[in-house]
Amino acid sequence: MRYTQYFLPTLKETPGDAEVISHQLMARAGMIRKVAAGIYDYLPLGLRVIRKVENIVREEMNRAGAIELLMPAVVPGNLWEESGRWQEYGKELLRLKDRKETNFCIGPTHEEVVTEIIRGTVNSYRQLPVNLYQIQTKFRDELRPRFGLMRGREFIMKDAYSFDVDDAGADISYEKMYQAYRRIFERCGLKFRAVEADSGTIGGTSSHEFMVLAETGEDAIVSCDSCEYAANVEKAELNAPVGDAPAPSQPLGKVATPHLKSIEDVARFLKEKPSTMIKTLVFQNEHDEVVAVLLRGDRKLNEVKLCNFLGCNHLQLADEAQVRKTTGAPTGFSGPIGLSCRVLADQDVAVMSDFGLGANEENFHLTGANYGRDFQVEAFVDLREAVAGDDCPRCTGKLEIWRGIEVGHVFKLGTKYSETMNATVLDDQGKERILVMGCYGIGIGRTAAAAIEQNHDGNGIIWPMPLAPFQVIVTMLNPNDESVFTAGEKLYQDLLDEGVEVLLDDRDERPGRKFKDADLLGIPLRINVGARSLKEQSFEFQERRSGERIMLPIDGAAATIAEQVRTALAAG
């Protein structure tokens, strides 16, 4: 592609509403253009990236035995009424009426449509398993669409639906998709983790979220440095510490700690570390049940774990009045000794001794406290949030903490839709069975955006080779110089002959401007064709990621570059 003949409207200024880096860079690099809130044009350069993601997804889905079809974007409302979602789904569902006043919606997902296909065509277990997928434009009327393609209202998604005669079959279908997803994101050249996840509102028993790692990610996740274990921070299980608490060696003492409320302030005053102290948090749940929770001073409570243990839906730190009522002192001086409410302790507390804690008396703390001798607890429970360096719950590895962007999910869906929509087959005994479903999504545009969140610097995008809109950019430093024009044109043709995707920057612009644009677009390999290097029979060759420049002999340059492209694609 010649730049002068291409349609590539780059922007100098970042659009005012672009909050995240991928949105900013996609807009500036001329990949997308906003049409309305959460609705974008995919401009030619952006579409090239979208197609790359789609192709990788399509190849791996096909390889895993899934079959592509295309379902309608506009879905009759009666199908959604049948599943019950017409009423359940909120305003995110874009509902509309046709000229006959019949209800329709723009599908945000297609469980109903695909289930209708299967129940109308499949009636024997011999026709199963089947896994149907599509790559389709979808719509979800988000209240606050933002972040460009990361959370648009209209979006391109790959969604797949598997149908099996029983649970065991559904497990196999799920595992195939899980492995296909791993290959997809590996082939995209992205760093990612497959995180064990809650199934959320869609309903189901087993699910994983595929997260692209990026500092700007909205979810905190943990993963093991040596096995495949990964989980949302809220869900990360932690091992109980090994061993017993050392025997008490100090008597219980009382110290005045006027106006010292935070664990850090009290520890500093006592010349201790927060990790040798206990903090006591008082919570109340929706049943007005009050519970005190003991944590090592430097640990953070994981409220989801506490909620799960208590079997409640909602939990909040007790207000000042409740703390005073429970402990007899204001917030900041709570401790377990003498409390009459339920007292739980994080499992780390079980191996501590001679620690400081609140005295349940304003402006006082206790020192030399010991579990057993001075107070009891109802139970030691895994209640804290995981931190980097914690032991993996599955192996001997250590946990690492990341931020991630969800780009794909696999759900074992069960019979939620097949049951309400009556999708059954006859099994090998001639008995009617409700189909067991799985559903599997990948946000195509979101994957492209997440790739940018993971791969960029101050100058622009740094595409992984498999997703790059062009693999190589050939920059003619001065196309008006005949030797430069001729050499650049020849290199361009040679690279095309090698099957390389090339953008030839043949614009009559200053070299500085061209370099800036090349950095912004993020094309992985750049060749500068200039009069000076041509005199030495060479091109200047630069990698976008490392910024490293080397001189490349003109002879065999195209073959060398093509080889490098192939190597990078294979590595992705």
Q: Closer to Zn ion at the Cβ: 74 or 395? A: 395
Figure out which of the listed residues 224, 238, 263, 339 binds Zn ion, where binding follows CB under 5 A: 224
Burial class (CB in 10 A: 0-12, 13-18, 19+), 99: exposed
Q: Closer to Zn ion at the Cβ: 399 or 467? A: 399
User: Contact letters (x/-) for Zn ion, 356-395, by CB under 5 A?
Assistant: ------------------------------------x-xx
Contacts (CB under 5 A) with Zn ion, residues 43-62: none
**Least distance to Zn ion, CB of residue 364, Å:** 44
Is 235 within 8 Å of 198 (Cβ atoms)? yes
Q: Closer to Zn ion at the Cβ: 228 or 320? A: 228
Closest CA to 52 of 406, 570, 468, 566: 468
Listed ranges 203-211, 224-232, 305-313, 362-370: which one lies at the site for Zn ion (CB under 5 A): 224-232
Does 227 participate in binding Zn ion (rule CB under 5 A)? Answer: yes
Does 472 participate in binding Zn ion (rule CB under 5 A)? Answer: no
Listed ranges 220-228, 272-280, 364-372, 413-421: which one lies at the site for Zn ion (CB under 5 A): 220-228
Q: Closer to Zn ion at the Cβ: 105 or 392? A: 392
Whole-number Å distance between alpha carbons of 420 and 410: 21
Does 397 participate in binding Zn ion (rule CB under 5 A)? Answer: yes
**Least distance to Zn ion, CB of residue 196, Å:** 13
Q: Closer to Zn ion at the Cβ: 230 or 474? A: 230
Q: Closer to Zn ion at the Cβ: 124 or 239? A: 239
Whole-number Å distance between alpha carbons of 94 and 528: 50
Closest CA to 201 of 309, 90, 114, 51: 90
Whole-number Å distance between alpha carbons of 339 and 278: 15
Is 84 within 8 Å of 420 (Cβ atoms)? yes
Binding footprint of Zn ion, residue count (CB under 5 A) = 7
**Least distance to Zn ion, CB of residue 221, Å:** 14
In order of 14, 39, 536, the CA distances from 36 in angstroms are 17, 5, 52
Neighbours of 456 (CB within 10 A): 20
Listed ranges 217-225, 281-289, 437-445, 479-487: which one lies at the site for Zn ion (CB under 5 A): 217-225
φ/ψ of 148, rounded to 5, equals: 60, -130
Q: Closer to Zn ion at the Cβ: 229 or 470? A: 229
Whole-number Å distance between alpha carbons of 206 and 167: 12
Contacts (CB under 5 A) with Zn ion, residues 83-142: none
Figure out which of the listed residues 229, 470, 539, 541 binds Zn ion, where binding follows CB under 5 A: 229
Neighbours of 62 (CB within 10 A): 13
What b/e sequence results for 333-363 when a residue is b if at least 16 CB atoms lie within 10 Å of its CB, and e otherwise? bbbbbebebebbbbbbbebbbbbbbbbbbeb
All residues at 6 or more sequence positions from 90 whose CB lies less than 8 Å from its CB, including other chains? none
Cis preceding linkage at 129, omega within 30? yes
Q: Could you tell me whether strands 460-461 and 502-505 are parallel, antiparallel, or unpaired per DSSP bridges?
A: unpaired
**Least distance to Zn ion, CB of residue 232, Å:** 16
Burial class (CB in 10 A: 0-12, 13-18, 19+), 458: exposed
At position 129, the amino acid (one-letter code) is P
**Least distance to Zn ion, CB of residue 398, Å:** 8
At position 127, the amino acid (one-letter code) is Q
φ/ψ of 417, rounded to 5, equals: -85, -40
User: Contact letters (x/-) for Zn ion, 7-36, by CB under 5 A?
Assistant: ------------------------------
Listed ranges 225-233, 240-248, 274-282, 493-501: which one lies at the site for Zn ion (CB under 5 A): 225-233
Does 222 participate in binding Zn ion (rule CB under 5 A)? Answer: no
**Least distance to Zn ion, CB of residue 306, Å:** 25
Q: Closer to Zn ion at the Cβ: 106 or 392? A: 392
Is 450 within 8 Å of 211 (Cβ atoms)? no
**Least distance to Zn ion, CB of residue 242, Å:** 17
Q: Closer to Zn ion at the Cβ: 247 or 395? A: 395
Does 42 participate in binding Zn ion (rule CB under 5 A)? Answer: no
Strand (E) or helix (H) holding 240:
none
Contacts (CB under 5 A) with Zn ion, residues 256-295: none
Q: Closer to Zn ion at the Cβ: 37 or 395? A: 395
Binding footprint of Zn ion on the chain (CB under 5 A): 224, 227, 229, 392, 394-395, 397
